[in-house]
Each structure stands twice: as structure tokens, then as C-alpha cells.
Amino acid sequence: MSDLALGRRLMDRLEALARFSDDADGLERLYLSSSHKRAADALAGWMREAGLDVRLDAVGTLVGRYEGAAPGVPALLVGSHIDTVRQAGKYDGALGVLAALTAVEALAQSGERLPFAIEVVAFGDEEGVRFPSTLRGSRALAGTLDAATLDERDASGTSVRDALIAFGADPDRLAEAAYPRDAALGFVELHIEQGPVLERMSQPVGVVTAINGARRLSVVVQGTAGHAGTSPMNMRRDSLAAAAEMILSVERIAAEVRDVVATVGVVDVRPGAVNVIPGETRFTIDARAPDDAARDAVVERITTAIEGIAARRGLAVHISQTHAAPATVCDPTLIAALDAAARAVGHQPVHLPSGAGHDAMAMAALCPVAMLFVRCAGGVSHHPAESISLKDADAAMRVLLHFLRAYRA
Ligand SMILES: [Zn+2]
């Protein structure tokens, strides 16, 4: 019945966008990098070809507006992010942006104007790899971004502000990036599942019920650097040995509570020499759960454990929070509309929570949000092996188009 044309169009665009990378051996497109700039320029071109009005906001989010039946009507925002992790896959983020573009292209080609406008949104700062905090694009649009976060610096000392200017955005216009509240009907984000549930249930798409809350902490353990040969073992204040004990406590405490996960993903040891006792060790903690109270209790226990280890070893420790987002409940009306669209094109919609964070979390401060997950092979993401099938891409496009055509504010 299907010629898979929509899916093919989407897959071709995903391949085209994946060519914009700062890593010749894999895909790497960090926020405000040269590859992000080239990807945004290409995307702006595709949006204009599809007849959209394109704008770039103060924090580098690209938005393309497909006008409704009457000019200036409120808009349904549809999109995701185009930044990636290092050694990334081609689908995380890009799928949601390019599916929105492909849907609008299809509407434009048949001259269909809907009672509302559609704005295709490409955020740039979802993965949080380059700077300490994240979700700058969706927070700016939702009007909740603290301007002070523009002074954060990356590992090479470049501030967000300077990187934005180099990117071609104007950070001084942050206030203008906030979307007028009565003009936003809702935000819908398509995304790969990044988990194994849809594959296990043999369904191409799933409707998200809630997004897990997440908290990120930065821990600095201050010991005393010293000569590795001349300092007796019982006279050392080794920051790395203490950090090792702390990291194991993070693992142990999180594992004790159902549905809570906690990860230490970055460790920085200073001075970092083979013959010097580590004087200072910094590490990160990322803790997530669908239930905020359960997650906060775990973070509390982890903090207490870390402070106890530092005190026992006679080291100073400083723990600061770099990111906090409560669990986000998706909008029941949008969920029902996505369910209906999935059924209308022949799929049984699976309901599932999202274990990963998404721009939809920040957008929930502005308007109702919903997410449609697309099955990905082996549940693999944040890895070059990330993949979706042409058939599933086509199924997702049909659900999205059906949803858009049936949607009424
Ligand atoms: Zn993503």
C-alpha cells in the first residue's frame, strides 16, 4: 500500500545532515561548532526551499514557519535538536527536526494550509557536551533561560556568548527569543526511543507518557599533591583515591532504588602526572528517575556519602548542581491525538516513559508537550551504530502527518 516515499525522503535528509561533522571518522556536531553552523545553514536552505520563513534566535535555534490558513495564527511547534554527542549516531535529534520539515514539505507540495501555523524547530544545545549546563535553545524559547548561563565556558575557555557571536547569533537579544505564550499551541517532538521497548513489542512507534527528571552534579575533591616517591602512604591526602571510593558509592546507592539510575561519566585528575599524587580530582554525577522524590532522596544519600568519605580521609569536597529538571508529564490531549493518528495509519500505539532527557522538558514551561518515539535497532543510541529502518521512518512520517492534519487547537 505504501511506496515509502515519505520515509525515503526523511532517510535521505538524515544522511545529508549527518555529513556535517567535525570528526572525519565519525559524527560529532557540538553546540555552536563549525559543523553545527554548516548544518544549520544547510537546514535553513532546505526550509526556505519548502517555503518556510526562517529565523535564527539569540542562542542559535533555527526556526522555520509554515503559515496557517490565516496569517499570524498561533503555531504548533514541531522539532528536536541538531547537536550531537561525540561519536554520535545520525538519528538522535536530527530525526525530529527532519521529520517536521518533511511533513511540512508534504503539506506545502499539496498546497494544504491548516487552521494553525507549524514552526519547525532545530535546537542546538540538547546534549550538553560542550558547556556545563544544557537545553539553552528550548529554555530560551520557553523564556526560562538565565542570561548568566551565557557566560559559561567550554574546556578551551570560550564563552557561550563568544561562541554565539561566531555562530552568527546575537546573544544580546535573548529576551526576544522567548516565544509569546498565547502563540504556542504545543510542542511535539519525534525522537528515536534510545531503548529496547518498542523493538521488544514489535511496534514502530510509541507515545511517551512522561520524561524522567535528571540532576547533574559537579564534584571537586581537594587533596594535596605530592611526590609519588617520597610521601608515605599514611601521610597522603590523595584526591583520586577518595574520588574512586565516592564513585563506587554513587553506583551502590543508585542500584538500591528501583528505576533510579546514576552515572559518573567524567573524571578529571590534576595535575595528572605518573609520579605525582593527585591533588585535585573533579567528577560529574548524572542521576535520573521518573519520580522526582525518589531521585532527590538518592542524590541526598549520595551527597552525604561523598561528604562522609571526604571527612574520613581529611579532604575538602565541593559539590555543586549544574543541571536540574523535574520529571515532565506529557499532555493527555496530545497523547490521545498521537494515539489516534497511530491507529489511523495501522499501528498499535505503545505507551512508555522516556529515560533520556529531551528539549520537550524545557518546552513544557511554555506549552503542552508530547513525544513520539520511533523504534531504533537494539535500543542503541549515542553511538555510530544507532539506526532506524526505512519502514519505521515511513511509519513515523505517516503518524506525524495524520496527527497534523487532524489536530485542532
Ligand atoms: Zn536527542
pLDDT digits (tens, 9 = 90+) for 109-152: 999 999 999 999 999 999 999 999 999 999 999 999 999 999 99
HSE-CB for 259 with a 13 A CA cutoff: 17
Output the pLDDT for position 118: 98
- Say how many Å lie between the CA of residue 188 and the centre of ligand 1: 13
- Say how many Å lie between the CA of residue 358 and the centre of ligand 1: 6
- Say how many Å lie between the CA of residue 269 and the centre of ligand 1: 29
- Say how many Å lie between the CA of residue 339 and the centre of ligand 1: 22
- Say how many Å lie between the CA of residue 78 and the centre of ligand 1: 14
Q: Measured in whole angstroms, how far is the alpha carbon of residue 341 from the centre of its chain?
A: 25
- Say how many Å lie between the CA of residue 166 and the centre of ligand 1: 24
Provide the whole-model pTM.
0.81
- Say how many Å lie between the CA of residue 89 and the centre of ligand 1: 10
- Say how many Å lie between the CA of residue 92 and the centre of ligand 1: 4
Burial letters 150-176, b for 16+ CB under 10 A, else e: bebebeeeeebbbbbeebebebeebee
Output the pLDDT for position 1: 44
CB 368 within 8 A of CB 387: no
Output the pLDDT for position 106: 97
Residue pLDDT, tens place only, 170-222: 999 999 999 999 999 999 999 999 999 999 999 999 999 889 989 999 999 99
- Say how many Å lie between the CA of residue 191 and the centre of ligand 1: 7
Q: Measured in whole angstroms, how far is the alpha carbon of residue 319 from the centre of its chain?
A: 24
For cell 519525534, the residue is 190
Other C-beta atoms lying within 10 Å of the C-beta of residue 288: 24
Q: Which residue stretches of the chain have pLDDT < 50?
A: 1
- Say how many Å lie between the CA of residue 356 and the centre of ligand 1: 8
- Say how many Å lie between the CA of residue 273 and the centre of ligand 1: 36
- Say how many Å lie between the CA of residue 267 and the centre of ligand 1: 23
Burial letters 303-322, b for 16+ CB under 10 A, else e: bebbeebbeebebebebeeb
- Say how many Å lie between the CA of residue 214 and the centre of ligand 1: 14
Bridge partners (DSSP) listed for residue 277: 226
- Say how many Å lie between the CA of residue 210 and the centre of ligand 1: 15
- Say how many Å lie between the CA of residue 80 and the centre of ligand 1: 7
CB 124 within 8 A of CB 83: yes
Output the pLDDT for position 2: 57
- Say how many Å lie between the CA of residue 48 and the centre of ligand 1: 24
- Say how many Å lie between the CA of residue 164 and the centre of ligand 1: 21
- Say how many Å lie between the CA of residue 222 and the centre of ligand 1: 34
- Say how many Å lie between the CA of residue 126 and the centre of ligand 1: 7
- Say how many Å lie between the CA of residue 194 and the centre of ligand 1: 9
- Say how many Å lie between the CA of residue 93 and the centre of ligand 1: 4
- Residue 370 and residue 77: Cα distance in Å, rounded? 11
- Say how many Å lie between the CA of residue 32 and the centre of ligand 1: 16
- Say how many Å lie between the CA of residue 228 and the centre of ligand 1: 43
